[in-house]
Chains A and B, each alone.
Chain A
């Protein structure tokens, strides 16, 4: 990767050759040290360039997403491109406010001082992105890291090959390449990258790799944000309209062919509800994808052979009541619903991450909650009920990264809600201002005046008899800081 800085209307030729990774790191660190990324104007310029990338290369992105994941333009718009555009716009609109010092509330003794938290860039950030929403999950963190004034190395997903190419060859043309680099590679290259020191590592992917990332980060005391996954439970109460629930459930489950970290992973409901839900799900699936889902442009394909094989095996769990068809050559799996599923079966042991929805019956809300609490904390949890008491009970008695009442992962579209996991589903959060905060050092600052030294007298030794007396009084009455 050459050392040229991209300017507006840059040379459209793809970057060729590879710079040794150590050199990229060194180069970006030097750029950071030079102070280039600090001024708001620089950051705004980069963000505007990102906005231009999204607009000017929209067709290229549609094409790449269609090739890699069979995403429809609508899918690409609502789950990737528009979300990124909104984040760019939000950052541009609020950057100066986010960058401002945040005053701390002063107490009695510091009324004369100035106390505030200063947001500073961390330095060099590494972002490792996954393949399922490859534009979104690369650019949204990037937007935050840039807004916060950092230099960034991006490792785009290698499994979504066409997108990897676009991000590696086209994206850098829009950004200042002295400060931002896109470095492609597979697991081996990632491992090597992780040996270097960064000032923050942002990783989206599996828990297994999350542990590797955190262990590597520990060697350098690098803070991490890990956006992982899990089995997102979905409780469907008897008190609800099955068709409405089925519409929402099906939409969020089969969107992006089920390859969504926050999709409902399995359903818990009563036997009676299950009997109403299954035909309702069939209605929804037919309504969305037609009688032959395979020919629907709104249904994508599985990302790879490996994942297809993994999902194909899950089709033999429980009993197929809807779908179940598959075609290896096409990497196609039909929108599927399974019933009579046992907890020990594979489909209930790993995150599904595909268009297969297992239904498990429970005899009560309490049983559902117990079941959920026996599992690891998931990235998301959903409850469908007309009764707000039920919704609140589940909310209060469980934990998860995020929570949806009567709908799926719509909360992802609100930048005012922090997005992240808890426990095995991850640590840290982002979106909107939370991204900016994640990639910043929050430096506590206190400006004390030189004068008024008299006020400080009491804190200096020697601690006289008077002082001891005062001390005993202070201990017995309300506490008081003297420093």
Chain B
């Protein structure tokens, strides 16, 4: 048996021992996870700095803090969420007890990704642990430092058999996907999402796929452009554009395009100074391949700002493109980099049509002071989530499910939704053995006599 098979088998045996069933056990594991983050915060930051040039601020406020919040919330709410949920009875079941009983699924696989390599592995894990599962973690190999760190610190704080970390590249992941799990949560690309779901189908394993797409951002003529551009610049260029819910491209009326460019430039200067390369707060591209990919998207485009890059440090300047042709490569794939194309549309309807001609995105943004514009944009499009008049923040609420639709994914998590995703909600109906006479009516022979066909 391969090492991977053994590790998974061990996790399953550990699950079958029943020790994850008591809530106290799960809460202790969650508390240990919380301790891990607080005690090893420096190590986590260092790994993020090494992988993505994230500074301490970003490490805390863009990754760790959400996991801490999720942990707090989960620890507090677990007894309530794990309790049996009585449901409405029918006239025939007035004397009975119908309810929904939450149970663990078994062994959950969480496949992480490299852009928020701590958060996107550990935040789902919180829900999986809370629901009483064993959890196999497969961090992304592209964020190597984080992968190695997690393999070291998780076993130091959590149950070693129940929560193993498996590292490796494509071949290890392929091998891992041959194993049988009770749920797989995958964060990453659409292409690999299909591979994960196909592998899961062989075992009839349910999946949650957190994928991506091109998240559109519509800027109405009627809005406070200073505020809008500031918020857009913040969300777009955070982590050097490598955020699945970053505004991918802008749609606006040609009459405000220049203003938008100017205000974006102003915000960028405020955030990162004249030369973003010198700013401690500006990230780097994860690797050479992605660097080249993003740089090639800029080729041949009308560059209003930035447009340069340095291969050695994998730095790409915050870049704004104008009058972008919808057929060009930068509009064909998720950019996942610090390049913001602006496309001109002449009306809200045209913007909506443009959006609807494309695959359903993970997020959609609309900036307007006019409520009607916002309502219409939401009503006539679809996406995993929406923030109006800001970007990204809808995913920071644990009371909102985080997930995609269509090509941007299926299933969701965060907060209570996490607990539900990783649980089996078992419908139960309990009645008494007494008083069978009350049920006499249902037993044959039936009153209606119908000729046999």
Same complex origin of A and B: yes
Let me know if B410 and A247 touch, CB within 8 A: no
When chains A and B are docked, how far (Å) is the Cα of A66 from the Cα of B30?
57
Let me know if A402 and B426 touch, CB within 8 A: yes
When chains A and B are docked, how far (Å) is the Cα of A185 from the Cα of B8?
41
A440-483 CB mask vs B (1 if < 8 Å, else 0) is: 01111111111101001001111100011001001110111111
**A416 partner residues in chain B, CB cutoff 8 A:** 87-89, 98
Let me know if B206 and A427 touch, CB within 8 A: yes
The 3 A-B residue pairs with the shortest CB-CB distance in the complex, in nearest-first order: A405-B430, A218-B197, A479-B68
A221 at the binding interface (Cβ < 8 Å): yes
User: B198 contacts which of A75, A218, A228, A428 (Cβ < 8 Å)?
Assistant: A218
Let me know if A221 and B397 touch, CB within 8 A: no
A410-425 CB mask vs B (1 if < 8 Å, else 0) is: 1101101111001110
A133 at the binding interface (Cβ < 8 Å): no
User: B270 contacts which of A33, A106, A460 (Cβ < 8 Å)?
Assistant: A460
- The number of residues on chain B lying at the interface, defined by a beta carbon within 8 Å of a beta carbon of chain A, is 116
B10 at the binding interface (Cβ < 8 Å): no
**A115 partner residues in chain B, CB cutoff 8 A:** 394, 397, 399-400
When chains A and B are docked, how far (Å) is the Cα of A401 from the Cα of B100?
11
User: B271 contacts which of A72, A288, A451, A462 (Cβ < 8 Å)?
Assistant: A462
Let me know if A442 and B401 touch, CB within 8 A: yes
Let me know if B204 and A423 touch, CB within 8 A: yes
When chains A and B are docked, how far (Å) is the Cα of A475 from the Cα of B45?
12
Let me know if B443 and A462 touch, CB within 8 A: no
Residue in B closest to A428 when the chains form the complex, CB atoms: B206
Contact of A221 with B270 at beta-carbon distance under 8 Å, contacts A120-B382, A240-B433, A419-B427 already known = no
**A424 partner residues in chain B, CB cutoff 8 A:** 204
A67 at the binding interface (Cβ < 8 Å): yes
When chains A and B are docked, how far (Å) is the Cα of A468 from the Cα of B103?
42
B85-112 residues at the A interface, CB under 8 angstroms: 87-90, 92-93, 96-98, 100-101, 103, 105-106
Let me know if A480 and B65 touch, CB within 8 A: yes
When chains A and B are docked, how far (Å) is the Cα of A459 from the Cα of B439?
64
A34-93 residues at the B interface, CB under 8 angstroms: 35, 62, 66-67, 70, 72-75, 78
A386 at the binding interface (Cβ < 8 Å): yes
Contacting chain B: which of A174-182, A208-216, A340-348, A350-358? A208-216
Contact of A403 with B60 at beta-carbon distance under 8 Å, contacts A115-B400, A214-B200, A446-B387 already known = no
Let me know if A475 and B426 touch, CB within 8 A: no
Chain A nearest CB from B389 CB (Å) reads: 5
A395 at the binding interface (Cβ < 8 Å): yes
Let me know if B88 and A211 touch, CB within 8 A: no
On B, residues with C-beta under 8 Å from A are 16, 18, 21, 38, 41, 55-57, 60-62, 64-66, 68-69, 72, 87-90, 92-93, 96-98, 100-101, 103, 105-106, 182, 190, 193-194, 197-198, 200-202, 204, 206, 209, 211, 223-224, 227-228, 230-231, 234, 270-273, 279-282, 356, 367, 369, 374, 378, 380, 382-390, 392-403, 405-407, 409-412, 424-433, 436, 439, 442-450, 452-453
Residue in B closest to A425 when the chains form the complex, CB atoms: B204
On A, residues with C-beta under 8 Å from B are 33, 35, 62, 66-67, 70, 72-75, 78, 104-107, 110, 115, 117-118, 120, 122-123, 199, 207, 210-211, 214-215, 217-219, 221, 223, 226, 228, 240-241, 243-245, 247-248, 251, 287-290, 296-299, 373, 384-386, 388, 391, 395-397, 399-407, 410-411, 413-414, 416-419, 422-424, 426-429, 441-451, 453, 456, 459-463, 467-468, 471, 474-476, 478-483
**A410 partner residues in chain B, CB cutoff 8 A:** 92-93, 96, 429, 431
Contact of A406 with B271 at beta-carbon distance under 8 Å, contacts A70-B452, A417-B98, A463-B57 already known = no
**A122 partner residues in chain B, CB cutoff 8 A:** 405
When chains A and B are docked, how far (Å) is the Cα of A226 from the Cα of B206?
10
When chains A and B are docked, how far (Å) is the Cα of A110 from the Cα of B394?
10
Contact of A399 with B103 at beta-carbon distance under 8 Å, contacts A66-B453, A74-B448, A481-B69 already known = yes
Let me know if A386 and B433 touch, CB within 8 A: yes
Let me know if A467 and B69 touch, CB within 8 A: no
Let me know if B198 and A73 touch, CB within 8 A: no
Let me know if A449 and B389 touch, CB within 8 A: yes
**B429 partner residues in chain A, CB cutoff 8 A:** 403-405, 407, 410-411, 414, 417
Contact of A446 with B393 at beta-carbon distance under 8 Å, contacts A290-B445, A395-B101, A423-B204 already known = yes
Chain B nearest CB from A38 CB (Å) reads: 8
Let me know if A221 and B407 touch, CB within 8 A: yes
**A403 partner residues in chain B, CB cutoff 8 A:** 101, 426-429
Let me know if A479 and B65 touch, CB within 8 A: yes
Let me know if A450 and B90 touch, CB within 8 A: no
**A248 partner residues in chain B, CB cutoff 8 A:** 436, 439
Chain B nearest CB from A378 CB (Å) reads: 11
User: B426 contacts which of A107, A210, A287, A401 (Cβ < 8 Å)?
Assistant: A401
Interface majority SS (helix, strand, loop, mixed), chain A: mixed
Let me know if A245 and B433 touch, CB within 8 A: yes
Count chain B CB atoms within 10 A of each CB in A414, A419, A476 and give the residue with the most: A414
Chain A nearest CB from B20 CB (Å) reads: 13
User: B60 contacts which of A219, A386, A471 (Cβ < 8 Å)?
Assistant: A471
When chains A and B are docked, how far (Å) is the Cα of A451 from the Cα of B106?
47
Let me know if B198 and A215 touch, CB within 8 A: yes
Let me know if B204 and A442 touch, CB within 8 A: no
Contact of A417 with B400 at beta-carbon distance under 8 Å, contacts A210-B204, A386-B433, A391-B430 already known = no
When chains A and B are docked, how far (Å) is the Cα of A73 from the Cα of B444?
12
When chains A and B are docked, how far (Å) is the Cα of A287 from the Cα of B281?
81
Let me know if B271 and A405 touch, CB within 8 A: no
Chain A nearest CB from B438 CB (Å) reads: 11
Chain A nearest CB from B416 CB (Å) reads: 10
Count chain B CB atoms within 10 A of each CB in A107, A228, A410, A479 and give the residue with the most: A479
Residue in A closest to B430 when the chains form the complex, CB atoms: A405
Chain A nearest CB from B186 CB (Å) reads: 11
Let me know if B394 and A219 touch, CB within 8 A: no
Let me know if B231 and A221 touch, CB within 8 A: no
Let me know if A33 and B356 touch, CB within 8 A: yes
**B424 partner residues in chain A, CB cutoff 8 A:** 399, 422
When chains A and B are docked, how far (Å) is the Cα of A252 from the Cα of B72?
46
Chain B nearest CB from A298 CB (Å) reads: 4
17 new A-B contacts, CB < 8 A, other than A218-B198, A384-B433, are A123-B406, A211-B202, A219-B198, A221-B197, A244-B433, A297-B446, A391-B430, A401-B426, A411-B98, A411-B427, A417-B87, A443-B384, A444-B401, A447-B374, A450-B369, A460-B271, A471-B60
When chains A and B are docked, how far (Å) is the Cα of A467 from the Cα of B60?
12
When chains A and B are docked, how far (Å) is the Cα of A395 from the Cα of B378?
44
22 A-B pairs within 8 Å (CB atoms) are namely: A35-B380, A62-B450, A66-B453, A120-B382, A221-B194, A226-B204, A251-B442, A297-B452, A395-B428, A396-B21, A401-B426, A403-B426, A404-B430, A405-B428, A413-B92, A417-B427, A445-B378, A445-B388, A450-B369, A451-B227, A453-B227, A463-B55
Let me know if A288 and B444 touch, CB within 8 A: yes
Chain B nearest CB from A417 CB (Å) reads: 4
Count chain A CB atoms within 10 A of each CB in B182, B279, B427, B446 and give the residue with the most: B427
